[in-house]
Structure 1
Amino acid sequence: MSELWAHTLTWADVNPARHPFEMDDDAAEELARLVAPLLPSAEVAREDRWRTLNPVTEFLADRYGRWACGWNWSVGEGDADGGVVEAWCCSSDSVTTPDATAPLVVAALQEWRGWLKDLAERFADLAPPKNTPVTSTDLWYWERACTRLVTVVADRTQAESGWYGHCMQVLRWFLAYNGIDEAQAEEIVTNAVGGRFGSWIAPDAQVVDAVSSRFATGVSDIR
């Protein structure tokens, strides 16, 4: 079921420009009605509820695109470790009756989409000018971008359990946004972070500076 695992999403999967999505109040109510029959009942054992959410995730991904599988990527140790969604806690606590749970699913999906739109706007603001030669100024753009993205992801995830996984993913997304292929992006980010981030603690300025410097150098090496 890796196709439904938010950790594997690429920028092509989540780029809002490629996957239009609009939802007014009426559409939100209609989606809640469609989701409700797919939800587990409150009688399902708490530890098993996460497995029974797959039909919901499959439905959302089929309807809106694979990006939607991040709808329940909540903060901390939820259904998937280290996300940004606060509207949904986890299957063991958020699932009650279908009618009460369905609106939470919709709110979580909207929150996740809002985060993706926010990232797209940040990427546009942080991207170096087109056709900028590799100079110290160019490196500054990449360092600044890495610093700001690490900071915002640490804040949105509250630097809780596994937060750095999504942080590294966001850095890869930014590189993809700027035309760097997935294999190169993976290498750049892995070399830059290199185990410097950990769960339950936001990195200090010195660590972020070191990661950002390595990130920028990694980009310059391929340009």
Structure 2
Amino acid sequence: MDPARHPFDMDDDTAEELARLLAPLLPSSEVAGEDLWRSLDPASKFLADRYGRWACGWNWSVAEGDVDGGVVEVWCCSSHSVTTPDATAPLIVEALRQWRGWLEDLTQRFAQLTPPGNVPVVSTDHWYWERACTRLVTVVAERTHAESGWYRHCMQVLRWFLAYSGIDEGQAQAIVENAVGGRFGSWTAPDVPVVDAVSSRFAGGVGEIR
């Protein structure tokens, strides 16, 4: 998901051109209503082919949308956001911009939160990992409004951070699952004691890597 590997420059002229390219790929609202899960597949494939797999998250909207628990606010879901192709295309472009902005924001946060260089992961003070987990959980809860399924994206972001910090994918998944493990729920932002407990378990999991 590293934005640096997939350059993305979207000024207003480029956005208008992209909307023109997307419009012929889009369904009418009637077709979208009949086939909610597949009606936008051509548009998603086009964006992924053009910009990279990261673009598939363009419709990961807040709350109960096409995919629960995301951060995109301009898009709701196929049944509500799809109207005419000419009106829907610019909406998709803006949703893509929002998703990209979030990924770039996360990358900056990862750079700030990752432990100092030249320090082995296992010897790094737990404080770094606790701080990182606390701040990332907090910002994901804010950006998703802790709506339906928000914790799934939160766990994904924590795995991304561990991968960014050089931790194996399998180990990262185990660390995050053990740390979160049912402690977060839909429509509820975690309170401070819960976040502290998750962050402590997160740091402990990193510390157990050998």
- 4+ residue runs of structure 1 moved beyond 4 angstroms? none
Give unmatched runs, 5+ long, in structure 1: 1-13
Match of 1:161 in 2: 148
Number of residue-to-residue matches in the alignment: 209
Q: Is the 8 A contact 1:50 1:92 kept in 2?
A: no
What's the CA shift for 1:170? 0.1
Give unmatched runs, 5+ long, in structure 2: none
Between 1:115-124 and 1:49-58, the stretch displaced more is: 49-58
> Residue 83 of structure 1 aligns to which amino acid in structure 2?
G
Q: Which of residues 53, 56, 64 in structure 1 aligns to 2:43?
A: 56
Calculate the TM-score normalised by the size of structure 2: 0.96
Q: Which of residues 125, 139, 142 in structure 1 aligns to 2:126?
A: 139
2:17 & 2:33 partners in 1: Cα distance? Answer: 27
Match of 1:121 in 2: 108
Matched, 1:195 2:195: no
Q: Which of residues 36, 58, 61 in structure 2 aligns to 1:74?
A: 61
Match of 1:96 in 2: 83
What's the CA shift for 1:51? 1.8
Calculate the TM-score normalised by the size of structure 1: 0.91
What's the CA shift for 1:131? 2.9
> Residue 126 of structure 2 aligns to which amino acid in structure 1?
L
2:98 partner SS: helix
2:72 partner SS: coil
Q: Is the 8 A contact 2:28 2:83 kept in 1?
A: yes
> Residue 162 of structure 2 aligns to which amino acid in structure 1?
L
Percent identity reads 79
1:45 & 1:128 partners in 2: Cα distance? Answer: 46
What's the CA shift for 1:87? 1.1
Structure-2 change in CA distance of 1:47 and 1:198 (3 Å): farther
Q: Is the 8 A contact 1:40 1:49 kept in 2?
A: no
> Residue 146 of structure 2 aligns to which amino acid in structure 1?
A
Q: Is the 8 A contact 1:83 1:163 kept in 2?
A: yes
What's the CA shift for 1:44? 2.0
> Residue 85 of structure 1 aligns to which amino acid in structure 2?
V
